[in-house]
Structure formats: C-alpha cells, structure tokens
Amino acid sequence: MGGKDGMDRRSFMRKGALAVALSAAPIVSSPKGAIAGSAGKFATLIDLTKCDGCAELGIPKCVEACRRENASRFPEPRKPIRDLWPQKTHDDWSEKRDVTDKLTPYNWITVQKVQVDGQTLHIPRRCMHCDNPPCANLCPFGALRKYSDGAVVIDHASCLGGAKCKSVCPWQIPQRQSGVGIYLKLHPIPAGGGVMYKCDLCHSRLEKGLLPACIEACKGRKGEEAPMILAQRQKIAELAGEAKRRGFYTYGEKENGGTATVYLSRIPFEKINSALSSADQKPHMARVEPKLMEVNRWSKGFIFAPLGAALGALGLVLARRANGKEEK
C-alpha cells in the first residue's frame, strides 16, 4: 500500500482524525503580526455613504483586486465533472468565471447595487468573518479555521465540498466548485464533491503585514476617505460607536454573535434588506440572532456522523481496488 495512492489515503485518514480536535478549538493563532507588524484581531469598516461602486469603471476596484490576488487559487476542474454522490447534480462555475455580480468560486467579493428611499446604494459583500463562525465549528474535516487575526479560512487541500459551511452560514457565503479537490481520489464519498471557496480576508497578506487586496485597492482610489478600511478590532468598534452617535446605523457588530465586518449607513438596514429582497439580491442584510448554543449541540453529530460515513466509503473504495487487483 505504498506509493502516491497510499500516501494520499494516509493523509486523508490523518485529516479526518484531526477534525475532532480542530473543531473543538477553531481559533488558531497567526505565527506573525499583521499590518505594520502589530499583532491582533482585525475588522473591516465599510461606509456605504462613501462607496459609489466605482461607477465610472467596468468593474469595482475591490472586485478586480480580489480576482487578481486570488487567481492562482481559483479551481481548475477535471472534466467531465461527475455528479455529487449520491445526488445527480454538481456545481460548475468554470464556464462562468467572468460573473462578478454574485459570489462564486471565482468571485469572492461582489458589490450589490440597490435603490432605497430614492438613493442608490453600493454594498460590497464578502465573508463576514464571524467571531464564532458556525462554518468553522461544524466542518466535519476541520477544513475551516478561525485565526486570531480575525480571518476565517478554508483549507482547499482538505476540503471535500460537503457544503455544510454554506448551509450553516446565515448569509450562505461559501460557494462550491465540483471536479476539484481530494474527493476525486475517494469518489464516491457521502461528504460531497468539490471544494468550497470564499473570501479569507487575504490572510496570507495579513501575516506579511499587508492590507487585504480589496481594501488596498479601495484606499488607493479614495485615499483617507476610503469606503473600506481595515483596523484593529477595538479601533473599528470606536469608529462604529462614534458613527452611531452621529446618526448612522450599523450592521455586523452583533449579527450572528458579532463579526469582523461592520457596515455603516444613514438608511436603516431593515429598509436596505427589504430592497435587496425585492430585487432578489443575495446575500441578505437581515438581522441575524446568534445561535451559538445550538451550533455547539449540532457540532457533535456533524463531526462524527460524516466522518464515519466517509471512512466507510473509503473502505468501499479500497475494497473495490483490492478486488480489481485480484481479478487481474
């Protein structure tokens, strides 16, 4: 059982076994500081009164910068793409890579445009990077981690595309591309098929002391009046508090128990969400109550049940291979 296949299987088994420990402690310390070498937890502040969606450009600068930064990590599916097992469907965005008006495996930030009270709002949307992310808590194979700098990151090398991260995300942010990932070596497997993709707050850039690509592009265009800024979490809280005293509404401070993405608006977010809903635009901006206790209860079943099923499927694959060798 040596060679590349043996190593792949052993690696898979190790990742599955480690999932239990990882999910119990999803917050991982970053080895380096971020932003001018200062370690700490960061958050994004997005001022909707300043964002114009880069209306004079063909594509918003934040979207363009994100796509350029992450192009090397975009999925290159193996075709023909097999259906998800045991379903008879699969997710394929590979022929729609240029789509920018929604979140896809090839587009990790989008800018919504909506009319509210006679005003045009442009709303940059990406992962909210929750303080206690259900996606990281419930991934049965430990493919998502919450880092101490605030970023929630998917490990594409260990993701099986089961999409539980999307189903438990209040905004359904992660998106799946089939035909890629470790599952290709284990098919069929009940944990899904493919890899999930979303914004990771440019975690690798944060570790080098750099701004996320979207925020750097926004700052470069707008200077100190940039609609999107990144700062220490406490600083963002102070700015949001001052904005509320001046009559602004906020979104993201308390949603799902708190997030590292805070929006400011002169228009109540209930109205903004209603306009988004009427225009059938996603993600929504409804109020999200935290369900952390419920998440913790779910996690026990979500960790062990899929792991057992996956290992059973792995045994089936190995048995079939062994039978095939005997027949030869």
Domain coordinates in residue numbering, the chain: 8-317
pLDDT on residue 9? 45
Angle separating helix axes 292-327 and 3-24, nearest 10 degrees: 170
pLDDT on residue 321? 59
pLDDT on residue 307? 52
Burial profile 21-58: b = 16 or more Cβ within 10 angstroms, e = fewer: ebbeebeeebeeebbeeeebbbbbbbbbeebebbeeee
The DSSP letter of residue 60 is -
Residue for token pair 């805070």: 262
pLDDT on residue 320? 53
pTM: 0.81
Mean pLDDT by 10 residues, the chain (328 residues): 45 43 38 46 96 93 98 95 85 96 98 96 98 93 94 96 94 97 78 89 96 94 87 96 97 96 98 97 94 52 48 52 53
> H helices of the chain, where?
3-24, 61-70, 134-138, 164-168, 203-207, 213-222, 233-245, 269-278, 292-327
pLDDT on residue 83? 86
- How far, in Å, CA of 215 to CA of 217, rounded? 5
226 Cβ neighbours under 8 A, 6+ residues apart: 50, 215, 218, 219
pLDDT on residue 190? 63
pLDDT on residue 217? 96
Residue for token pair 């993405």: 261
CATH architecture of the domain covering 8-317: 2-Layer Sandwich (3.30)
pLDDT on residue 278? 97
**CA distance between the termini of the chain:** 17
Which tokens hold the place of 314? 């792995």
Q: Residue 22 in contact with residue 142, Cβ under 8 Å?
A: yes
Which tokens hold the place of 7? 């190593």
pLDDT on residue 223? 76
- How far, in Å, CA of 319 to CA of 328, rounded? 14
